[in-house]
Amino acid sequence: MTQSSGTLEKAKFSHIVITFIASVIITAQSSVNSELNTYTENPLITALINFTTGLIVLSVMMIFSRPIRQGFISIPRLVREGRLKRWQLFGGLSGAFFVASQSSLVQVIGVAIFTVAAVAGQTSAALLVDKAGIGPAGKQPVTLMRIGAAILGIVGVLVSVLGQDSTGQFAFGAVLISFAAGALVSTQPALNGQIANHTGQPAAATMVNFIVGFITLVVVYAIAQQVNPQSFNVPPMPWENPVIWLGGPFGVLFVLTASFMAKTLGVFLFTLTSVVGQLSGAILMDVLFPTASTNITWQLLLGISITGAAVVLASGKKKTKTQ
């Protein structure tokens, strides 16, 4: 192995670690949103609050960072020049769809089945995203090793939810939509990564992601109100209960990480690493903030280990001869 390739492997390892940490942190978003939702009693409003607070954080970053402002302002020019395609700006659309789907489908099929279906969609589609070269890392071959890692990752998640309580039923349509939601969200780091790559600013890509997601949720909420009007409660203000307002900032951190890592890790490896981090974070949340539904089982620990093995398998490379 040459010195440059050794440096690359060290960089990849550090990026896997950073992705893992960001994914552990994003699990806190679920707990925060769950608490926030007990006040609003409206999942779409909870999601809108997340995107709004995220936009506020990103706006502050832009105000105090000239490079981020320049990166964001350069996006229209990059689109006109053809260096960025218009469809590459819609990474936030899949994120908004995932949040909206999660809010409604979990009530139908339960957390366990939704998780398995969504992760199956994510890992499977991530292979195709890399194969098509949608992300900034370019085209990645679909090797037997990567296919094996995808299967192993799905098995790991499946094992991890065994023994977990799920009050839902196996509704084929809902499971199919969950799979589709996971598949679509796998394009998010790829598209945001393209924006980050061309602007040189992952924060600019994250801003686009949150703007698109926010607009999408506003449209969905407006349509939902026309079809089936629902009220909501105003949650405590940030100075009264700051914790429940942290979902947006946590989301910014995760999308920011995804935008940067999509180039160095590729979408597939990023997705697998993220799954391991989120499963590990789920255990951490249960240990630090146990609830009546807390249930850390040996299946969960085994599942995380299996998914971790999938990350190792996916990150492996064939040795090349030195010149």
Whether residue 261 is predicted with pLDDT greater than 90 in this model: the reply is: no
What number is the average pLDDT over the span 47-55? Answer: 92
Apex CA 39: angle with CA 33 and CA 45, to 5°? 60
- On the CB side of 290, CA atoms within 13 Å amount to 5
Nearest Cα to Cα of residue 309 among 159, 165, 189:
159
pLDDT on residue 66: 93
Q: Which amino acid is at 320?
A: T
What are the angstrom distances between the C-alpha of 192 and each of 95, 152, 170, 261, 286? 11, 27, 33, 10, 31
Reported confidence tier of residue 3, pLDDT bands at 50, 70, 90: very low
Tokens 């090349």 belong to 320
Phi–psi pair at 230, nearest 5 degrees: -135, 140
What span, in angstroms and rounded, lies between the C-alpha atoms of 277 and 154?
Answer: 14
Could you tell me where the DSSP H helices lie in the chain?
A: 3-40, 43-64, 66-73, 75-80, 91-132, 144-161, 172-185, 187-199, 202-227, 247-264, 266-288, 298-315
Highest mean pLDDT among 60-69, 133-142, 295-304: 60-69
Q: What is the mean pLDDT of residues 42-58?
A: 90
**In terms of Cα–Cα distance, which of 5, 28, 204, 190 is closest to 93?**
190
- Higher-pLDDT residue of 2 and 222 is 222
Q: In 266-322, where does DSSP find H-type helix?
A: 266-288, 298-315
Q: Output the six-digit token pair for 41.
A: 């009693």
Query: What is the mean pLDDT of the segment spanning 10-33?
Result: 80
In this structure, the chain runs to a length of 323
Sign, Cα dihedral of 113, 114, 116, 120: positive
More confident residue, 300 or 39: 39
Token pair, residue 107, equals 């009530």
Residue labelled with tokens 């490079």: 67
What pLDDT does 291 receive?
Answer: 54
Cβ-based neighbour number of residue 144 at 10 Å: 7
| Cα-Cα end-to-end distance for the chain | 10
Asked if the model's pLDDT at residue 76 lies above 90, the reply is yes
What is residue 173's predicted lDDT score, i.e. its pLDDT?
A: 77
pLDDT of 316 above 50: yes
Report pLDDT for 103.
59
Q: What are the phi and psi torsion angles at 121 (to 5°)? A: -65, -40
Instruction: Provide the percentage of residues in the chain whose pLDDT is more than 70.
Output: 83
Over residues 309-320, the mean pLDDT reads: 64
CA–chain centroid gap for 118, Å, is: 11
Which residue matches tokens 């010149």? 323
Most confident range, picked from 105-114, 119-128, 284-293: 119-128
Q: Report the alpha-carbon distance of residue 181 to residue 119 in Å, rounded.
A: 9
